[in-house]
Structure 1
Amino acid sequence: MAAGLSTAPTRSATTTARRVLLTLSVGLLLLVGLSAPNAAQPDLAPRGWAPGTLLPLALGPAAVTAVLWLAYLAGGAAVLLGLRQRAAALGSWAVPAGIGVLALLTAPFGSGDHVSYLAYGRILVTGGDPWVERPVDWGGGLDPVTSRVEAPWTEEPSVYGPFGTLLHGLSALLGGDHLRQGVWAWQVLVVLAWLAVRALLRRVLDDDAHGRIDVLWTLNPLVLGVGVLGAHIDVVAAALVVAAVAVLRWRADAVGTAAAGALVALAGSTKITYGVVAVGIVGAWWFTGTRGRALAQRTAALVVGLVVVGGALQAWAGPHVYDQLLRSRQAVSLATPWRPLLEWGRDMVGNAPTRLLISVAAALLAVALAACLVRLTRPAAAHDPVAAALWLTACLGFAYSLAAPYSLPWYDLLVWCALPAVAAGPVDVLALLRLVALGLAYVPGRVLGMTPAVEDVTLGVRRGIVPWVGLALWVLVSVAGVRRGSWPRSGLPRRGR
């Protein structure tokens, strides 16, 4: 009894601290989105029928950087407390729905990607090929939407897949000549996708995992800030990934498996890296005991759905869909551990050989990290193929994010939409550390609107600190994966059983 009395005040204090941190973090994020255009938020005016600036407040470059850094640090602490406390699930949809409504009153911030989305959609619905045309050239450079694309993307065709570009086109069609209207239509899709992830996860995971869903996804200010309030396409792709796995819960026959394959195709043709869920699904069948002919039949049905839908989208989009993706395949972003190697290698052996070496090394590292993460973790429900598919997707997605030469914070949404299906463990903290570090690295997130002093500080974090955090995560995952038990200890069937 005494022990129970002593822990109750501690738990209550943790709950209060978490609520304060969540309120602070979400409030600061909304402050940035509701205020006037700034170094984090592109100007989308004129607003047309869409919401405009609601707070008569203009944050300077230093202020918006400080606000976002504080928001992400407080948000990371809130998630950590929720994990430590094993916080219970929300009792209703009131809080997620309220956050969703508030998100639709904001203007996206943290990058100018949403402007590019609308530009590609605009090119599509006005008769062009977004995988060939450059936004700066469309309409003679005078188009009211495509002319608003910001550096460094003004001359870059679309890197997104056919289905994602169709959604961009729908948003552009609804928005017409007003950029703000099209962006708001896109925000509606993003918010609905964010809510759909929660709804689907609650349907397919056991009740014991519902608290993790809200800690890691619904009430995660980092997911909200870099994903939902940033209006990134990754939120939509994440919803399609979860939907692909969820179909297998409701219908496990050939029709359901083909439908899952179709949804995998939609996810991969929104953003190609999200197609990795197909490997997660097939791997989950194998890990949970499906072998031989049964595995071959299920895999065949999955591939049929994937090829039919993916092939139709590819045929519609034309031969240039992946041109830009191929051109940028050896890009190296500033906040990854590969960047110092690139800068050293360019001076020593040249740019092209160094980039090739980095590409090969990153692929090998991703495989090694994935193996370590599989050894280090287990699905929340050991013999459930749905939970196992999300578990493997989280492992593969996290390995890719860690190892990729070009990586941005919103790329991690694939990990976070699947992480609730992973049993609580050290990977939660490692994934959180990476997302906090990347979130801080890419504040305020645009190349425009900063003073030289702010640019020096933010680049110092991006280039001088965060790459070493990434390197430390490589070491931690590798060491932990080697030392911890392998997958047979996780409760999954042993090979050959």
Structure 2
Amino acid sequence: MSSTRRRPGYRLVFGSAGVLCVLLMAGVAAAGDSAAVPGLGAATWHPSWDLDLGLSSGLVSVMLVVAAALGATAVVAGLLAVRSSSFSLSPRNVSIAAVSAVVLLTALPPLGSADHLSYLAYGRIAAAGDDPYVVDPSTWRDGTDPVASAVQPPWQHTTSVYGPVSTAVQALAAWAGGGSLRLSVWFWQILCGLAFLLVAFTLDRITRDDPRARARTWVLWTLNPLLLGQVVLGGHLDVISVAFAIGAIALAARRPVAAGVLIGAAVGSKITFGLFALAILWGLRRRPLPQLARHIGVMTLAGLAVLVPAHLWSGPHTYDLLHKASRQVSLAAPWRLLTDQLDPVFGGSVRDVVAPVAMGLGALLVLLLLRRLRDHPTGVGTGEETASMARAAFALATGWLLMTPYSLPWYDSMVWAPLALLAPTLLDGALLARLLVLVLAYVPGRVVGMSVQVEDISLGFRKSVAPWLELAVVITVVVWTCLHWNDFRWWSRSRGSIMTDDEELASPSPSVGQRFDVGSTD
């Protein structure tokens, strides 16, 4: 006799936890100047809007920790809903939810860091015709500019470390905002929000022929509250680079000119996105040599048509700080466990060794991932070449992120876009754990405004706990690459079995239990 049990309400958990996460983060941002939110000065009639409530660093930290836990719970529940075929949302409702979240978050001050203020300072300097790679924000115009002077510690005396395309986008936002800090921040937030939605649209188009794969992109990107918090509400330029890069991958097999322009813009935004150019080459590698040469040649010329003028505009000092940046080791990185022990003995020379060793280990991990993912299913419906690019982009981005000595939570956006195109594996959980740990490690976010107790807890977790947890993620990924179980067989067996709400309405007479996901038979 068969028994009937109630199907877990994964979709309900996904929706409710995700909404609560977004609302909590929005609440912290709306409260205004705090240990998580850099103040934007006097209120104005236009966004970014806040209430200037002056929340304590302890309350802000608790709210953000709870939000992070809810966000991770939402992602897990969403993935389980996709696996159990209970993720029956219509594309229209998903679009409404995503756009609503982005509109809300872009109307509020960014939280989690003060990076956006540095972006706008560099853009303000560039828009005025000066060189942000030479002049630092604190000295430009004797520190009297209302936008450039708002840069927060410890970045007031740091010149730009970003590519010329990033600087051009920053200059656009600064120019649109005029001399108003709030208006400039709002325009920057709009650009980040639009970039996030462009990535969501691109992923949706790539997977539109596979309902299960499409739903997976909704969970891992479009409705992912952790990513919404990091790159939209956080206002980080990484999402703009991801939009360029994932667009290039979507078009590379068929439209080399457009793809070349986009990958050139991605590399000119952040140089690490050159990894996506390598992914494109990997995906095209099986073409006949004459055809491959023509295709790559066209893409290269299109990319150079972006990069050459951009670098001529930005000048010879664009990458002056690149070497200095390569020696940095972030507090939450596993490499910190090594440098903290060896720096007192050998001095700063240890960091000169860490960078090349990390690159070598990253390259090895990329090779392991490429081998492991060689025949891995994807939701890509635009051809095997694009699928191969997605696998390679994921492998390259993951190898770099897990091994780089300097990494922050919003950097992970470059992994989550290609991850959303792959069939599920253990890596979903490992990378979610990594993102959650990094998000928690950088609560509340600023280096000022914390009470002594909050600072002790925050830095204690960041320096003493997070590196070990991140190391555990690295070990998990490496072990997984060396194992050979088929952990996506269920995906291959049941691909396409999810129906959206619209498709369910058109399907022939489902039972009540099937229609409303209230029961199943063992």
Same fold at TM > 0.5: yes
The match for 2:210 is: 207
The whole-number CA distance in structure 1 between the counterparts of 2:58 and 2:175 is 36
Following superposition of structure 1 onto structure 2, how do residues 449-464 of structure 1 map, counting pairs within 5 Å?
Answer: 449-464=449-464
Q: Please, which moves more after superposition, 389-398 or 427-436?
A: 389-398
Following superposition of structure 1 onto structure 2, how do residues 322-471 of structure 1 map, counting pairs within 5 Å?
Answer: 322-352=319-349, 354-377=350-373, 378-381=376-379, 384-471=384-471
Paired letter, 2:342: G
Paired letter, 1:280: A
The match for 1:149 is: 151
User: Alpha-carbon deviations, 1:36-56, whole Å to 9, x = none?
Assistant: 211000001234453254446
1:62 corresponds, among 58, 62, 73, to 58
Say whether the 8 Å CA contact 1:379–1:388 is kept in structure 2: no
Say whether the 8 Å CA contact 1:372–1:480 is kept in structure 2: no
The whole-number CA distance in structure 2 between the counterparts of 1:464 and 1:318 is 41
Deviation at 1:198, TM superposition (A): 1.0
Deviation at 1:365, TM superposition (A): 1.3
The match for 1:121 is: 123
The whole-number CA distance in structure 1 between the counterparts of 2:48 and 2:421 is 38
CA gap of 1:267–1:463, structure 2 versus 1, over 3 A, is same
Deviation at 1:448, TM superposition (A): 0.8
The match for 1:243 is: 247
Say whether the 8 Å CA contact 1:89–1:213 is kept in structure 2: no
The match for 1:494 is: none
Say whether the 8 Å CA contact 2:25–2:229 is kept in structure 1: yes
The match for 2:32 is: 36
User: Alpha-carbon deviations, 1:349-370, whole Å to 9, x = none?
Assistant: 2221x11221121011111221
Residue 73 of structure 2 is aligned to residue 81 of structure 1: no
The whole-number CA distance in structure 1 between the counterparts of 2:328 and 2:90 is 41
Say whether the 8 Å CA contact 1:88–1:210 is kept in structure 2: no
User: Alpha-carbon deviations, 1:32-82, whole Å to 9, x = none?
Assistant: 111121100000123445325444643210111111111111111110111
User: Alpha-carbon deviations, 1:390-447, whole Å to 9, x = none?
Assistant: 2211221111111010100000111112211111111111111110011111111110
CA gap of 1:142–1:244, structure 2 versus 1, over 3 A, is same
CA gap of 1:321–1:284, structure 2 versus 1, over 3 A, is same
Query: Please, what TM-score do these two structures have when normalized by structure 1?
Result: 0.92
Say whether the 8 Å CA contact 1:47–1:181 is kept in structure 2: no
Say whether the 8 Å CA contact 1:159–1:321 is kept in structure 2: yes
Say whether the 8 Å CA contact 1:388–1:421 is kept in structure 2: no
Residue 133 of structure 2 is aligned to residue 139 of structure 1: no
CA gap of 1:137–1:379, structure 2 versus 1, over 3 A, is farther
Deviation at 1:327, TM superposition (A): 2.3
Deviation at 1:314, TM superposition (A): 1.0
Residue 278 of structure 2 is aligned to residue 275 of structure 1: no
The whole-number CA distance in structure 2 between the counterparts of 1:374 and 1:125 is 42
User: Alpha-carbon deviations, 1:457-497, whole Å to 9, x = none?
Assistant: 000110111101111122111111112279xx999xxxxxx
The whole-number CA distance in structure 1 between the counterparts of 2:131 and 2:416 is 33
Say whether the 8 Å CA contact 1:40–1:110 is kept in structure 2: yes
User: Alpha-carbon deviations, 1:166-220, whole Å to 9, x = none?
Assistant: 1111111111111111010111111111111111111122333210111001111
The whole-number CA distance in structure 2 between the counterparts of 1:403 and 1:441 is 18
Deviation at 1:379, TM superposition (A): 4.5
Say whether the 8 Å CA contact 2:378–2:423 is kept in structure 1: yes
Say whether the 8 Å CA contact 1:144–1:179 is kept in structure 2: yes
The whole-number CA distance in structure 2 between the counterparts of 1:89 and 1:212 is 12
Stretches of structure 1 that go unaligned for 5 or more consecutive residues are 492-497
The match for 1:45 is: 41
Say whether the 8 Å CA contact 2:123–2:168 is kept in structure 1: yes
The match for 1:258 is: 257
CA gap of 1:454–1:418, structure 2 versus 1, over 3 A, is same
Deviation at 1:389, TM superposition (A): 1.3
Paired letter, 1:63: L
Say whether the 8 Å CA contact 2:214–2:379 is kept in structure 1: no
Deviation at 1:96, TM superposition (A): 1.1
Q: What do you get for the CA RMSD once the two structures are aligned?
A: 2.0
* Other structure's SS at 1:102 match: helix
Say whether the 8 Å CA contact 1:359–1:405 is kept in structure 2: yes
Deviation at 1:124, TM superposition (A): 0.8
The whole-number CA distance in structure 1 between the counterparts of 2:393 and 2:131 is 32
Stretches of structure 2 that go unaligned for 5 or more consecutive residues are 493-522
Say whether the 8 Å CA contact 1:379–1:422 is kept in structure 2: yes
The whole-number CA distance in structure 1 between the counterparts of 2:379 and 2:219 is 18
Deviation at 1:156, TM superposition (A): 0.5
CA gap of 1:321–1:35, structure 2 versus 1, over 3 A, is same
CA gap of 1:313–1:240, structure 2 versus 1, over 3 A, is same
The whole-number CA distance in structure 2 between the counterparts of 1:292 and 1:28 is 54
Say whether the 8 Å CA contact 2:48–2:106 is kept in structure 1: no
* Other structure's SS at 2:91 match: coil
Report percent identity of matched pairs: 37
The whole-number CA distance in structure 2 between the counterparts of 1:316 and 1:482 is 46
* Other structure's SS at 1:413 match: helix
* Other structure's SS at 1:360 match: helix
Residue 481 of structure 2 is aligned to residue 481 of structure 1: yes
Say whether the 8 Å CA contact 1:48–1:178 is kept in structure 2: no
Say whether the 8 Å CA contact 1:375–1:484 is kept in structure 2: no
Deviation at 1:276, TM superposition (A): 1.4
Moved over 6 A (4+): none
The whole-number CA distance in structure 1 between the counterparts of 2:411 and 2:43 is 29
